[in-house]
């Protein structure tokens, strides 16, 4: 079965880059990699997603390993507002969009 | 604007009662999902549906039921058989085919408390 693995927590200093890793060694060729973040008692917020190539948007960058068995979410300059739980999610395209969540990484940002 | 709406935001259930959480989307998404989240924990899949009139059990389906009579709606019923229903419930939807690609949208969540 597909599975994602993330560290439980990470710390960063404000204004510094943050690299959040995710392992998904069982990923198949059509599975997309999504990243969402969640604040307490709120629905998850979209951050970024990709399939094979690295992706950039205004919030973050997504670096996908060449073998696709891991990916890294990169926040280029962490702010206090980036403190949240970050989830790596596999979107199983060939299983009708079944979602596989990692356990999430709680990111804390120090001023 | 398109989006996904959950209601109610807060719900209280008495012992032995069934309660239903509503989830509606106007995004023309094929797939819809229900997740349960306990304090400080990740999301666990209860049920998901890929198409109207069809749904599959997730990891923790016992004590829950769903229906998918319309594409836009995927209500979750928490039955009296669910012994520990107090949790935060999240609904999501995603496009699998066509122009909506594989975007995922989450609702704002519903808090259910047993009293």
Per residue in A5-64, pLDDT (tens digit) is 999 999 999 999 999 999 999 888 888 899 999 998 888 998 999 888 899 988 899 999
- Cβ pair A103:B42 closer than 8 A: yes
Tokens, residue B81:
């058989």
**Tokens 């604007």 — which residue?**
B1
Q: Which residues does chain A have within 8 Å of residue B33's beta carbon, measured at their own beta carbons?
A: 99
**Tokens 């919030």 — which residue?**
A59
CA of B92: which chain A residue's CA is closest?
Answer: A43
CA of B110: which chain A residue's CA is closest?
Answer: A41
- Cβ pair B109:A101 closer than 8 A: no
Which DSSP letter does residue B70 get?
B
> Is residue B27 within 8 Å of B39, Cβ to Cβ?
no
Q: Which residues does chain A have within 8 Å of residue B45's beta carbon, measured at their own beta carbons?
A: 99, 101
Q: How many residues does chain A have?
A: 111
pLDDT of residue B99: 42
The residues, any chain, with a CB within 8 Å of residue A109's CB and separated by 6 or more, are: A11, A12, A13, A14, A18, A78, A79, A80, A82, A83
Give the residue from A86, A96, A102 showing the smallest Cα distance to B30: A96
pLDDT of residue B98: 47
- Considering only CB atoms, A43 lies closest to which of B95, B102, B108, namely B108
Give the residue from B8, B1, B2, B4 showing the smallest Cα distance to B32: B4
pLDDT exceeds 50 at position B100: no
- Considering only CB atoms, A42 lies closest to which of B43, B96, B108, namely B108
The residues, any chain, with a CB within 8 Å of residue B111's CB and separated by 6 or more, are: A41, B9, B10, B11, B87, B88, B89
- Rounded average pLDDT over B35-49: 90
Chain B positions with Cβ closer than 8 Å to A: 30-31, 33, 35, 42-43, 45, 48, 50-51, 88, 90, 92, 94-96, 102-109, 111
φ/ψ bin of A76: left (φ > 0), alpha (ψ from -120 to 50), beta (otherwise): alpha
pLDDT in tens, A48-92: 998 888 999 888 999 999 999 999 999 999 999 999 999 999 988
- Cβ pair A41:B94 closer than 8 A: no
CA of A50: which chain B residue's CA is closest?
Answer: B102
- Considering only CB atoms, A91 lies closest to which of B42, B90, B94, namely B94
pLDDT of residue B97: 59
């Amino acid at each position: 079965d597909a599975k994602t693995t993330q560290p439980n927590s990470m710390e960063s200093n404000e204004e510094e880059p943050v690299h959040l890793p995710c392992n998904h060694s069982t990923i198949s060729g059509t599975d997309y990699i999504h990243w969402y973040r969640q604040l307490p008692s709120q629905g998850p917020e979209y951050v970024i997603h990709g399939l094979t190539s690295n992706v950039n948007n205004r919030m973050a960058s997504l670096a996908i390993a060449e073998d696709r068995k891991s990916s890294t979410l990169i926040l280029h300059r962490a702010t206090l507002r980036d403190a949240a739980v970050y989830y790596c999610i596999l979107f199983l395209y060939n299983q009708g969009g079944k979602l596989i969540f990692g356990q999430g990484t709680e990111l804390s940002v120090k001023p | 604007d398109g989006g996904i709406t959950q209601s109610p935001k807060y719900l209280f259930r008495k012992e032995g009662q069934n309660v239903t959480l509503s989830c509606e989307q106007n995004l023309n998404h094929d797939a819809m999902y229900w997740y349960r989240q306990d304090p400080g924990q990740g999301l666990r899949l209860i049920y998901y549906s890929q198409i109207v009139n069809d749904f599959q059990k997730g990891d923790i389906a016992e004590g829950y039921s769903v229906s998918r009579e319309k594409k836009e709606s995927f209500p979750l019923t928490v039955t009296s058989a669910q012994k520990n229903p107090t949790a935060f419930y999240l609904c999501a939807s995603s496009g699998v085919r066509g122009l909506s690609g594989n975007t995922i949208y989450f609702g704002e969540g519903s808090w259910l408390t047993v009293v």
